[in-house]
């Protein structure tokens, strides 16, 4: 199938086995728990910012450090999944990462949180394990849906926004990582017994180095670009929005986290819908039009609270412009939805064009998205410290999406008409 394909007549899809459904549900649960843990510093960090007297740049570094290793480990874990199978790799990952998560409860200084965060961040690489693993249990015409459904495990970001502040308020922040460490171990047991042997394990030919030759394909790097803004932007804003709402609208942490779920929840659960749309209309169309909607939302969110003084014939008139809380929630809801569609459509590309190297390609594309999630909160903090305008985070994302649309137009749209 060509990467630029439009609408397809799917015909009658083969029946999906019970084993495939079991693998999909177990893998999605594992990814959801991993994502809760991966994002927990986005909530804990708000209290730690006060306790450790951190500036905006240090706060961005604290929340994004786990994202760094979650990004870097996606490539090797994707390659190991192709060779050893998703069942073994995912189980080991869940069990091993419970150790640094538990140790977080003993940290007292910023450098300790950053160091431990590098190790616990490996849970974020679970995406590169589960995506090729679940795809192998589904027929090609249903893989977009399967990978989108698995990707809906990113709703762990929303679960984190509800559960973490409640646990923190009731028992203190040190209780939270201890609970999550136990949750990882329990999930490892559930996953092992509910999953099945990976049918693609060990089928990769040649050495481990040979499996990376696919990275010479320029299309792989275009997919990295798409995912760095959709997943990277989603991850960064999931970490950033709670403290944004607390500072901009004067909310409590619990309330800010609940409202932030208006962005994280659709950006997670709608990935399955995005995968279905990519199956129906083609990955290219879903990616292209989704980024246009994101561009509009980010333009509106970028506008800071402003007062205009207009000189009229009858004197001066003052106009006040701001993004109200209701408008903010609605815009971020739509933004989360189109980011979800973009994340799902990107991996529809992968399944269609790199079926024999899904682990490696998933790893490098996931790495690009994770690096976006790591760098963006730091840049948000730097921009806020320098310009003193909170909406600079949305201004920056607006510029990135604009550049992405130009690049997609030059590389794909100009050569191939967009359908749908």
Is residue 14 in some structural domain? no
Taken as a whole, the chain contains a residue count of: 420
- Reported as a single tens digit per residue, the pLDDT across 180-193 is 999 999 999 999 99
* The pLDDT value given to residue 418: 46
Has residue 390 been placed in a domain? yes
On whether residue 7 sits in a domain, the answer given is no
If one counts the domains in the chain, the total is: 1
Q: How would you classify the pairing of strands 306-312 and 315-321?
A: antiparallel
Name 347's Cβ contacts closer than 8 Å, sequence gap at least 6.
131, 144, 147, 148, 151, 275, 362, 365
Structure-model confidence comparison of residues 33 and 218, the more confident one: 33
d(CA 156, CA 161) in angstroms, rounded, equals: 8
Q: Which of 152-156, 262-266, 295-299 has the highest mean pLDDT?
A: 295-299
Tell me: the pLDDT tens digits for 189-227? Answer: 999 999 998 887 766 555 556 666 777 777 788 888 888
Interatomic CA distance for residues 244 and 64, integer angstroms: 15
SS3 308: strand
Question: What is the tens place of the pLDDT at every residue in 234-243?
Answer: 888 888 888 8
Q: How many helices (H) and strands (E) are present in the chain, helices listed first?
A: 19, 2
Whether 301 is covered by a domain: the verdict is yes
pLDDT per residue over 227-278, tens digit each?
888 888 988 888 888 889 988 898 887 888 888 877 877 777 777 788 778 8
CB 351 within 8 A of CB 135: yes
Most confident of 6-15, 147-156, 283-292, 390-399: 390-399
Query: What CATH number does residue 134 fall under?
Result: 1.20.1250.20
66 inside domain:
yes
Kindly state the percentage of the chain with pLDDT values over 70. 91
- Position 21 confidence tier, pLDDT thresholds 50, 70, 90: very high
| Per-chain mean pLDDT for the chain | 84
The yes-or-no verdict on residue 420 having pLDDT over 50 is no
Asked whether 97 and 30 are in contact (CB, 8 A), the reply is: no
Domain membership flag for residue 372: yes
For 384, residues 6+ apart whose C-beta sits below 8 A from its C-beta are 56, 390, 392, 393
Question: Which residues span the domain enclosing 253?
Answer: 19-200+208-413
> Quick one: pLDDT band at residue 326, thresholds 50, 70, 90?
very high
Does 3 reside within a domain?
no
Question: Would residue 330 count as lying in a domain?
Answer: yes
Whole-angstrom CA distances from 102 to 61, 142, 152 are 20, 38, 26
Radius of gyration of the chain (CA): 21
């Amino acid at each position: 199938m060509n990467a630029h394909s439009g609408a397809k007549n799917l015909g009658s899809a083969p029946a999906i086995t019970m084993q495939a459904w079991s693998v999909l549900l177990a893998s999605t649960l594992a990814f959801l728990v991993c994502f809760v843990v991966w994002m927990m510093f986005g909530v804990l960090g708000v209290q730690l910012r006060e306790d450790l007297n951190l500036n905006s740049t240090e706060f961005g570094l604290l929340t994004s450090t786990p994202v760094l290793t979650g990004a870097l480990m996606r490539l090797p874990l994707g390659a190991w999944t192709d060779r050893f199978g998703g069942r073994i790799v995912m189980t080991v990952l869940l069990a091993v990462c419970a150790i640094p998560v538990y140790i977080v409860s003993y940290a007292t200084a910023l450098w300790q949180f950053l160091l431990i965060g590098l190790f616990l961040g490996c849970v974020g690489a679970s995406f590169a394990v589960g995506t090729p693993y679940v795809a192998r249990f589904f027929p090609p015409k249903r893989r977009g849906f399967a990978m989108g459904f698995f990707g809906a495990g990113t709703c762990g970001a929303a679960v984190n926004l509800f559960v973490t502040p409640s646990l923190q308020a009731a028992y203190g922040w040190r209780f939270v990582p201890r609970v999550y460490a136990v949750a990882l171990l329990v999930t490892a047991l559930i996953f092992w017994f509910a999953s099945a042997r990976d049918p693609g394990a060990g089928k990769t030919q040649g050495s481990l180095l040979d499996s990376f030759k696919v990275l010479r394909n320029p299309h792989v790097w275009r997919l990295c670009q798409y995912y760095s803004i959709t997943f990277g932007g989603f991850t960064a804003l999931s970490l950033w929005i709670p403290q944004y709402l607390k500072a901009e609208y004067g909310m409590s942490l619990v309330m800010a986290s609940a409202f932030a779920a208006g962005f994280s929840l659709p950006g997670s659960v709608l990935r399955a819908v995005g995968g279905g749309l990519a199956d129906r209309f083609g990955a290219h169309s879903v990616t292209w039009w989704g980024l246009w909607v994101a561009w509009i939302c980010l333009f509106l969110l970028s506008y800071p609270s402003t007062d205009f003084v207009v000189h009229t014939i009858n004197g001066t008139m003052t106009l006040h412009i701001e993004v109200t809380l209701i408008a903010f929630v609605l815009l971020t809801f739509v933004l989360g939805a189109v980011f979800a569609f973009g994340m799902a459509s990107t991996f529809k590309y992968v399944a269609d064009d790199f079926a024999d190297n899904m682990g490696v390609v998933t790893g490098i594309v996931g790495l690009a998205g994770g690096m976006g999630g790591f760098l963006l909160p730091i840049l948000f903090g730097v921009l806020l410290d320098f310009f003193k305008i909170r909406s600079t985070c949305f201004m920056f994302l607006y510029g990135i999406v604009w550049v992405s649309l130009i690049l997609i137009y030059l590389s794909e749209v100009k050569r191939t008409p967009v359908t749908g």
